[in-house]
Amino acid sequence: MLDIPSSVRVDVEALLAAQNHMGVCDALEQYAPVGKPDAMTAPHLPKVAGIDSTVPPPAHTVAPASPAPAPPSSPATPGTPGAPGAPGALIQDRLAGWVSDLTTLHELTERLARTAVLDEALHEVLRAGAALVGARRGLVVLEPADGLGPDTTVGLGLARADLGHIETVPRGATSYGRILDRADGTDEPEVHADLLSENGLDPRHREVATRLGYAASFALPLATEAAGRLGAAVWLYDEPAEPVERQRHLVGLYTSYATEHLARLLELERARTKSRTLAEELLPPRLPRVGGVQLAARHRTGPRGGGDWYDALPLPEGALGLAVGSVTGSGASAVAAMGRLRASLRAYAVMEGEDPVAVLSDLELLLRLTEPARSATALFAYCEPALRKIVMAGAGHSPPLVIGERRTEFVETSLSAPLGMLACWEAPSVEFSPEPGETVLLYTDGLLHRTGDPMDRAFARLHAAAAGVPRTIRDDPGAIADHVLHTVLPDGLDAADSDEDVVLLAARFE
């Protein structure tokens, strides 16, 4: 409770006068007793939500004098200081309520501001709104008015099957449907205090409400002037109910801020989706089928899109070309450069794939002439599955890993600078033969960088993950790649937003 001196004798009408833009000082004077005033300083409220809430002293109002104490035998009467219904206590309670509301809004908006992913933000909006309006369940329907998506529905306290039942209700009979389909663009809420007793309620809506056990709903639009209507939020009550005016005011303030935050995350999600789609389209849509070898690939793209890539292409006489690489930079320019580099390597591999050094030499010359400001790493392996023979060359790239029953070891490759770093690139190739049942794992440096460890520890972690592949999945290159990925990058690090792309290409030789 705020510490307001008991000498302040003011009725709540003074506060209402201030709210109605009346002279608050005149309203205070109305209740000031006649007599000589004593000096008084204005109370200082604590800071709330980063706002200095110090109340300045009135400019033309004096504090009332302290009244004489009532005789011991006289009971306190309403309107006197210390009485339970004193006006000072009323305004003190009202101010304390305002402070509490500001504090609540500050905490909820701070929690929302910490969300960086659209789906996480939608769940946070549902939880905060439910706390403000006193509901237990709810759903958000995201359906941007510009038609560019993404369209999704997120529930609070509702399983996926429950959301499916709600979606079977005709759109025009639902609160979110009426909000999203409004032609006048108004932002009024949809309130149904006693849903099941309403006349004209759609029979399917009544059936779903009875099945899911909700009897009332309160819905608000999620709209901004810049982005238009993004969607609608609906909160469901187990019993007939509706939020009071104070709750409506608070949730309205919260959703106004939340919608702006959602609009920013929506644009970010769209940019990520475009970059991810572009990167995926520039990679092989499917891996080739070549006798004597099984292939599997895993690709994780960062939020801005990066230049990590892989390739597997059939070559003449039953041979197979495997490649992984990484282009410096991120964003659309790096993705485009990656596409050009991969297409060029495919052409060189078809012409002279049996000589990996020549393939990378041609690629280095092309990169130096066409994109002198960019560098790249690459590894190309010419495989003859029938002979289980691999000839490989690398340019500044991490060595592949051989995973088998009797060994788990890195392939010894020669040290070489990345492409575009030297006036003329050339390094010797290496040749090795995997045993039957062994898997050769090619990867990009993003797998190591995402661990956050120094490179020596990251390599040790990768080796331990490969050595720990269960025997039951050693005949499945996809399962091997998944095990290594999730072991090296546990707790969702493989899916978390990162500036580093991750590529794994596994080839198991029969």
**Could you tell me which CATH class the domain 116-276 is placed in?**
alpha beta
What six digits make up the tokens of 219? 């819905």
The candidate with the shortest Cα–Cα distance to 90, out of 1, 24, 174, is: 1
Q: How far is CA 502 from CA 128, 279, 306, 419, 499, in A?
A: 36, 12, 9, 19, 10
pLDDT in tens, 436-472: 999 999 999 989 988 889 999 999 999 999 999 999 9
pLDDT digits (tens, 9 = 90+) for 51-71: 333 333 333 333 444 444 444
Q: What pLDDT was estimated at residue 27?
A: 34
Nearest to 341, CA basis, from 375, 382, 391: 375
Q: Which of 223, 217, 224 is nearest to 193 (CA)?
A: 217
| 207-211, 371-375, 396-400, 442-446: the lowest-pLDDT one | 371-375
3-state secondary structure (DSSP) of residue 419: strand
Distances from the Cα of 445 to the Cα of 429, 450, 496, angstroms = 20, 9, 16
- Burial class from Cβ neighbours inside 10 Å (0-12, 13-18, 19+) for residue 401 reads buried
Lowest mean pLDDT among 46-50, 134-138, 200-204, 294-298: 46-50
Q: CB-side exposure of 391: number of CA atoms within 13 Å?
A: 17
CATH H superfamily, domain 282-509: PPM-type phosphatase domain (3.60.40.10)
Nearest-angstrom CA–CA distance, 332 and 275: 7
Look at residue 34 in the predicted model and tell me its pLDDT: 41
CA–CA dist 329, 287 (Å, integer): 26
Tens digit of pLDDT for each residue in 197-238? 998 899 999 999 999 999 999 999 999 888 789 999 999 999
CA torsion angle 265 271 273 278 (round to 10): -170
The rounded distance, in Å, linking the Cα atoms of 63 and 40 is 6
- Note the residue count of the chain: 510
Distance CA 274, CA 145 (A): 19
Q: Is the peptide bond before 150 cis (omega within 30 degrees of 0)?
A: yes
* Domain boundary assignment for the chain: 12-69+81-106, 116-276, 282-509
